[in-house]
Amino acid sequence: MKIISAIDSMKGSLTSSEANQIIKNTFEDGDISVEPITIADGGEGTVQAFVSSRNGQLKSALCHDLRGRETEAQYGWLEDEKTVILESAQTCGIHFLDGMIHSHPRKTNSFGLGEQIMTACKEGAKRVIIGLGGTGTIDCGIGMLAGLGVKFFDSEKNPVLPIPENFRKIARISTISIPDEVRNIEIIIASDVQSTITGENGAVNMFGQQKGLSLEELPEFESDIDRFSQLLLVNSESQFGDGAAGGIALALRTVLGAQIVSGIDLVIQYADLEQKIKQSDLVITGEGRMDAQSLQGKVPVGIAKLAKQHEIPVIAFVGEVSGDPIDFEKAGLSVIIPIVSQVSTLKDALTNAKQNLMFTSMRVKQLLFLFKH
C-alpha cells in the first residue's frame, strides 16, 4: 500500500512536516510506504511548503509586526525561478494579538507586509507569491500600501496615519511614490478563503471577532471598510477573494495588479501532488480545526477534492471538527477523525498534539490491518 500524507500545520502544536513525519513513522512498514508532503494553503507553513517542494532556501529579514514592533520575518527564495515566497502572518499574524487596546483592529496595520515585499524586490525577485492566511489585521491593506510608499490624505489634503481608526478621514490615495521595482514585479496571492471585502461572508463579519472586534463593533467597522474600499475599487469591481487577510488581497489586486489564486491549488501544483495522489492507495490529510471555513479552500478539502477525482479514499486527522458531515463527504473526505481522545483543555490538547496524533494514527492503522485480513 502506498500512502500520501499531506497534513497541514496544527497551529500552536505541530508543523506540517512534523505531523506528516508522525504518520510516516506510524504507518510505514514492509507492506506500507508513506510519502510525507509538507503542505499549506496560504497560511502558516506556506513558505516551508514551497521551499520543500522546489528545494529552495529559507531566509529572513527584519520588519515590523502589526503593532509596529520589530520582528524577524522568514521568507523563501527559489533561485531558478527568481521567486520569493512570503507569509503575511510573519508580520501581520493573529499570534501577535494580545487582547489589549494596542492590538485592537482599529490600531493595527499591515505595514510589515509592505516591508516584506520590498525585501523581495531587493532579493531580485521577478515574482512574489504571498500567502495571506493567519493574519490578525482588518486594515484593507492600508498599512501594506504605506510600506510601499502610498500616501493617504484627508479632504483638506493633510496626511493621514494608515490605520483603520482613520478610514473615515481618508479622502484621497496617492500611489505615485510606489517604486518601479514594485510596480514591475509579478505578485500572486495564495489565499485560503474566498471571502468578499464586505457582506455576510466578508472580512469583517466572518473574521472580525476572532481578530478582536466585539459583536457590537462589527456594523460600524463594516461601514468604514466599505467606504474605504470604494477608494480602491474606483477602477475595478469587487470580487470573491478580496476579503482575504482583512482586505489585503483587495489592495494588492487593485493597486498592484496582483492575481488571486487558491493557495492550496498553487501548493499542489508546485509539489506535483496530483500525480503522486494518482499513484497512491490512500491519502491522509488534516488540520487543527475543521469547520465550515475549511470548505472555502483549506488544505484537507483541497486535497480531498483532488483525490476524489481519482477515486482515492481520504482520511483527515483533526484536532477539532464542527459543521455538516455531508458537506465534507461531498468534498471527498472519506472519514474525519478527531485526535483528542479525552476531555481536555485547549492548552493540554496543544501540548499533547504529537502524542495524540501518534496514538490515533496507530489505532487507524490497526483498523486498516483488520480489513486487510
Q: How many residues does the chain have?
A: 373
Task: Record the pTM.
Answer: 0.89
pLDDT value at residue 348: 74
The domains spanning 2-39+272-372 and 46-264 adopt the same CATH topology: no
Q: Average pLDDT of 137-142?
A: 97
Superfamily of domain 46-264: Glycerate kinase, domain 2 (3.90.1510.10)
pLDDT value at residue 144: 98
Q: Under a CB-based contact definition with an 8 Å cutoff, are residues 95 and 137 in contact?
A: no
Rounded to the nearest integer, the mean pLDDT of the chain is 92
Long-range contacts of 123-126 (CB under 8 A, 24+ apart): 123/59, 123/77, 123/84, 124/82, 125/77, 125/82, 125/83, 125/84, 125/185, 126/81, 126/82, 126/83, 126/185, 126/186
Helices (H), the chain: 16-27, 46-54, 89-92, 111-123, 142-147, 180-183, 218-232, 244-256, 263-270, 273-278, 299-309, 325-331, 346-351, 353-372
Closest of 139, 138, 243, 265 to residue 193, by C-alpha:
243
Cα gap 5→14, rounded to integer Å: 14
pLDDT value at residue 351: 78
Tell me which DSSP letter residue 138 carries: -
Please, which pLDDT band fits residue 345 given cuts at 50, 70 and 90? confident
Given CATH 2.60.40.10, say whether it is the number of domain 2-39+272-372: no
Please, which pLDDT band fits residue 322 given cuts at 50, 70 and 90? confident
Q: Write the pLDDT tens digit of every residue in 156-193.
A: 999 999 999 999 999 999 999 999 999 999 999 998 78
Quick check: helix, strand or coil at residue 8? coil
Cα gap 167→208, rounded to integer Å: 16
Q: Write the pLDDT tens digit of every residue in 72-113.
A: 999 999 999 999 999 999 999 999 998 888 999 999 999 999
Q: Average pLDDT of 286-302?
A: 83
Spans of all domains in the chain:
2-39+272-372, 46-264
Tell me which DSSP letter residue 125 carries: -
Q: Under a CB-based contact definition with an 8 Å cutoff, are residues 95 and 136 in contact?
A: yes
**42 exposed, middle or buried (CB, 10 Å; 0-12, 13-18, 19+)?**
buried
How far is C-alpha 81 from the chain's CA centre?
22
Q: What are phi and psi of 224, to 5 degrees?
A: -65, -45
